[in-house]
Structure 1
Amino acid sequence: MEQVMHRLGIRGLPPVSAPTQQAGMPLIHTLPRLLKKCGTALRCAGVMLLAGHAGVCTGSLAQDDAAQVVPVEQGAVIEGAVSAAQGTATAEGVLSAAQGTATEKPAFAAVQAIWKEQEIDFNFQSFTTFYSCSSLEDRIEYIFRGLGAQVTARVRDIACPFSVARMPRVHIHLRSPVEATPAALAEYEKGHSKRVLVARVRGEQAEESAEMARFPAVWKTVTLSRGPLGLDSGDCELVRELRRKVFSKLAVRIVQDDTRCSSNLSVPRRLRLQMEALMEQPSPDVQDVEDQRPES
């Protein structure tokens, strides 16, 4: 069975249980029926289905021979044709890794900031990495939370929630800090009355005025890079497209971009984007607790 699977180029599938083989239903007989509907995304979509529709597949799906797929849990990353999966990146792991690379620069003094809400539609297409809908939503949310934003991402794709999102359109609701400049305060006040009215109709807490909504914030250095429990080089194109289309709408400054993406899987990819992001300053009590944590 292992030799047959190797010939088909199917790697990383869970072992076929003895009861399944004894019942006369070996994987080699049942898998083609499952994959027949998947077109050029043959192996990737098949494994995604077997894995419960959640995960990431890296590889050229137009050339099935070059694609390597591994079933993963939600939020995990696969280095398809480059290497086998090197671990499962959980939601907590990605977020903690993103936050762990954020360091406050002593040269930056605290500034007054306000929250800015935005609705952004993000169209994403990758030629090497394909996400399930839920995995793409999680990935985007982890990245923006690491930049100090409050975010909700929803993929709008005909494939959701049962398959791989090939050309997903993602609706992103962002609430991120911006410096309380006169222009930002004027923009905040412009829609304040409408937002207060909507909140009252919904029975929600009314929004504060711009003057009352101010809070201290600090600029911190954040590095989006490959790590054992963080982002992976397979996320290279996602980060690159977010930089091109979305990051400019936030209070972030690009410091250094060493990211290198390639649709040729034989060329090593590299993910390292260093930015300065404006983040809400923790209260003194929270900061004291964080300072007392032992270094890992």
Structure 2
Amino acid sequence: MSNINKNNPQLNRLLDIMQQLRDPNTGCPWDQKQNFESIVAYTIEETYEVADAIFSGNMVDIKDELGDLLFQIVFYAQLAEEQKNFDFEDIAQSISDKLVRRHPHVFQATELKTDDELNLQWEKIKLQEREVAARPNDKSVLANIPIGMTPLLRAQKIQRQCSKVGFDWTEIPPVVDKIHEEIEEVLAEVNASEPNQQAVEEEIGDLLFAVVNLARHTSVNAETALIKANRKFEKRFRQVEQVIEKQGLSMESADMQQMEAAWQLIKSR
């Protein structure tokens, strides 16, 4: 494994540990049999655990989870080096070169730009990069949006790209009207004499897409908002369980009115 810098002993140590874990003779059997595809799920999981730690505000947890995520990158680097494709140093060089290339207003003698000018410059540079890399000649504004993004993030990215060419509302009221329209269409399918589950699913998908659009228009990241909503609901529900238990009941024996009363009590606090 290539040493990055003698002044980074812990990074070198991590790279050496990864190499030992993958050693075909003395390494860990689990690590030995992994490949690029098999650890993708773990990478995604670690990314969410980083986000969860950040939202919890515990700096020790954030440090630990960032370490787990860094290990994923080191793992990919080791796999690639074994295949003689690239190593960790190549990864670091690649992102460093890209950051310098995409920020000429910082690393070159150019004037600072407005946000709109910076966004335009960013997209222009990315387009040039794709041309140099000889990527498939997909000229759609939606080209190169990763399929592997979570649905909420991908919906937001699709909408943002469409907005760049003017395919977007400029005010919030029509965005809200669209949400109401989609709710009505969901209810129409749900209340049909013979509900079609596939149609219900499609309309709920349209509703979710419309809600993501509202998040985007209000400068809210839909993924972050939902993560926080999940955390808030979980915290309140656990408190409801405690209230119900103090009443000598269980969640299974309590009726909906008792649970709703406990929920309102928790909200009022």
TM-score w.r.t. the length of structure 2 is 0.23
- Using CA pairs below 8 Å that are at least 6 residues apart, which structure has the higher relative contact order? 1
TM-score w.r.t. the length of structure 1 is 0.21
Richer in strand (by share): 1
Richer in helix (by share): 2
- Greater CA radius of gyration, 1 or 2? 2
